[in-house]
Structure 1
Amino acid sequence: MQSNPDVLQISLQQQPAPEQFGPKALLSPSAAGYQIHLKTGDEQRSVQKAARLLDNLGLAAVQLNGNWPLELQWAFYQGFVNAKRQTGVQFSGDSSTLKTLEQRVQCYRFAKSLVNQTPEQLSPQLLCEQAAAFITEIAGSAKVSYRLITGEQLAAEGWHGVYQVGRGSVRPPAMLELDFNPSGAANAPVAAALVGKGITFDSGGYSIKATEGMLSMKCDMGGAATVTAALALAILQGLTKRVKLILCCAENLISGHAYKLGDIITYKNGTTVEIVNTDAEGRLVLADGLQLASDSGAGLIIDAATLTGAAVTAVGGEYNALFALDKPLAQRALVYAEQQQELTWQLPLEKWHQQQCPSPYADTANSRPVKGGGAGGASNAAGFLSRFVANDGKGWLHFDLAAAFNGSSNAYWAAGATGQGIRTIAATLLNELQA
Structure 2
Amino acid sequence: MSSTVSVFVSTQQPNQSAWKSSTAAILGEQGATIYLGENEADNIRKIQKAGRQLDSMGVKSVSLQGDGWDIERQWAFSNGFTDTLTKNQINWAGATEQLQQLRETAAWIRQLINLPPNEIYPESLANQVADKLTGIGGDAVTVRSVVGDELVAEGRMGIHTVGRASKRAPVMLVVDYNPSKNTDAPVDAVLIGKGITFDSGGYSIKSSEGMLAMKCDMGGAATVAGALVHAIQQGLQKRVQLVLCCAENLIDGSAYKLGDIITYKDGQTVEIVNTDAEGRLVLADGLIYAGEVNAPLIIDAATLTGAAQVAVGTEYNALFSVDDALAQSALKIADEQRELLWRLPLNQWHKDNCPSAFADTANSRPQKGGGAGGASNAAGFLLRFAPNNGAGWLHFDIAGAYNNSANGMWPAGATALGFRTIAATLLK
Specify if TM > 0.5. Answer: yes
Which residue is 1:154 aligned to? 151
Which residue is 1:8 aligned to? 5
Q: Distance in 1 between matches of 2:421 and 2:263?
A: 34
Deviation at 1:323, TM superposition (A): 0.6
Would you say 1:273 and 2:274 are equivalent positions? no
Deviation at 1:249, TM superposition (A): 0.4
TM-score normalised according to structure 2 size: 0.97
Bigger shift: 100-109 or 195-204?
A: 100-109
Deviation at 1:100, TM superposition (A): 2.0
Would you say 1:46 and 2:46 are equivalent positions? yes
Which residue is 2:347 aligned to? 350
Which residue is 1:241 aligned to? 238
Q: What amino acid maps onto 2:301 in structure 1?
A: A
Bigger shift: 25-34 or 199-208?
A: 25-34
Q: Is the 8 A contact 1:194 1:246 kept in 2?
A: yes
Deviation at 1:30, TM superposition (A): 3.2
Q: Is the 8 A contact 2:216 2:414 kept in 1?
A: yes
Give the direction of change, closer, same or farther, for the CA distance of 1:145–1:401 in structure 2 (3 Å limit): same
Would you say 1:341 and 2:338 are equivalent positions? yes
Which residue is 2:164 aligned to? 167
Deviation at 1:28, TM superposition (A): 2.4
Would you say 1:20 and 2:18 are equivalent positions? yes
Q: 2:260 aligns with which of 244, 259, 263?
A: 263
Q: Is the 8 A contact 2:322 2:347 kept in 1?
A: yes
Which residue is 2:109 aligned to? 111
Q: Secondary structure at the match of 2:222?
A: helix
Q: What amino acid maps onto 1:47 in structure 2?
A: I
Q: 1:383 aligns with which of 377, 380, 384?
A: 380
Q: Secondary structure at the match of 2:356?
A: coil
Give the direction of change, closer, same or farther, for the CA distance of 1:255–1:280 in structure 2 (3 Å limit): same
Deviation at 1:86, TM superposition (A): 4.6
Q: Is the 8 A contact 2:60 2:87 kept in 1?
A: no
Q: Secondary structure at the match of 1:78?
A: helix
Q: Is the 8 A contact 2:354 2:377 kept in 1?
A: yes
Q: What amino acid maps onto 1:129 in structure 2?
A: N
Residue by residue, what CA displacement relative to the aligned partner does 1:317-374 show, whole Å, maximum 9, x if unpaired? 1111111111111111111111111111111111111110011110000000000000
Which residue is 1:74 aligned to? 75
Q: What amino acid maps onto 1:116 in structure 2?
A: N
Deviation at 1:121, TM superposition (A): 0.8
Deviation at 1:294, TM superposition (A): 1.4
Q: Secondary structure at the match of 2:125?
A: helix
Q: What amino acid maps onto 2:130 in structure 1?
A: A
Q: Distance in 1 between matches of 2:262 and 2:386?
A: 17
Which residue is 2:65 aligned to? 65
Q: Distance in 2 between matches of 1:381 and 1:138?
A: 34
Q: Secondary structure at the match of 2:281?
A: helix
Would you say 1:226 and 2:227 are equivalent positions? no
Mind listing any 5+ residue stretches in structure 1 that lack a counterpart? none
Which residue is 1:31 aligned to? 29
Would you say 1:326 and 2:327 are equivalent positions? no
Work out the percentage of aligned pairs sharing the same amino acid.
Answer: 56
Deviation at 1:397, TM superposition (A): 0.5
Q: How many aligned positions are there?
A: 423
Q: Distance in 2 between matches of 1:284 and 1:314?
A: 22
Q: Distance in 2 between matches of 1:385 and 1:25?
A: 44
Residue by residue, what CA displacement relative to the aligned partner does 1:372-429 show, whole Å, maximum 9, x if unpaired? 0001111111111111111111111000001111111111111111111101101111
Q: What amino acid maps onto 2:72 in structure 1?
A: E
Q: Is the 8 A contact 2:198 2:248 kept in 1?
A: yes
Which residue is 1:132 aligned to? 130
Residue by residue, what CA displacement relative to the aligned partner does 1:126-182 show, whole Å, maximum 9, x if unpaired? 101111111111112x10001011111111211110000001111111110110000
Q: Distance in 1 between matches of 2:318 and 2:25?
A: 33
Which residue is 2:369 aligned to? 372
Q: Is the 8 A contact 1:16 1:23 kept in 2?
A: no
Q: Is the 8 A contact 2:3 2:61 kept in 1?
A: no
Q: Secondary structure at the match of 2:188?
A: strand
Q: What amino acid maps onto 1:388 in structure 2?
A: F
TM-score normalised according to structure 1 size: 0.95
Q: Is the 8 A contact 1:175 1:246 kept in 2?
A: yes
Q: Secondary structure at the match of 1:204?
A: coil
Q: Distance in 2 between matches of 1:235 and 1:252?
A: 32
Q: Is the 8 A contact 1:125 1:174 kept in 2?
A: yes
Q: Secondary structure at the match of 1:368?
A: coil
Q: Secondary structure at the match of 1:118?
A: coil
Q: 1:415 aligns with which of 412, 416, 427?
A: 412
Which residue is 2:313 aligned to? 316
Deviation at 1:205, TM superposition (A): 0.4
Give the direction of change, closer, same or farther, for the CA distance of 1:98–1:393 in structure 2 (3 Å limit): same
Would you say 1:193 and 2:190 are equivalent positions? yes
Q: Secondary structure at the match of 2:167?
A: coil
Residue by residue, what CA displacement relative to the aligned partner does 1:111-134 show, whole Å, maximum 9, x if unpaired? 000000011110111101111111
Mind listing any 5+ residue stretches in structure 2 that lack a counterpart? none
Would you say 1:56 and 2:48 are equivalent positions? no
Q: Is the 8 A contact 1:16 1:24 kept in 2?
A: no
Give the direction of change, closer, same or farther, for the CA distance of 1:39–1:118 in structure 2 (3 Å limit): farther
Q: Distance in 2 between matches of 1:287 and 1:348?
A: 20
Q: Distance in 2 between matches of 1:400 and 1:130?
A: 23
Give the direction of change, closer, same or farther, for the CA distance of 1:22–1:384 in structure 2 (3 Å limit): closer
Q: Distance in 2 between matches of 1:265 and 1:203?
A: 20
Deviation at 1:6, TM superposition (A): 4.8
Q: Distance in 2 between matches of 1:158 and 1:19?
A: 66
Which residue is 2:89 aligned to? 88
Would you say 1:205 and 2:202 are equivalent positions? yes
Alignment RMSD: 1.2
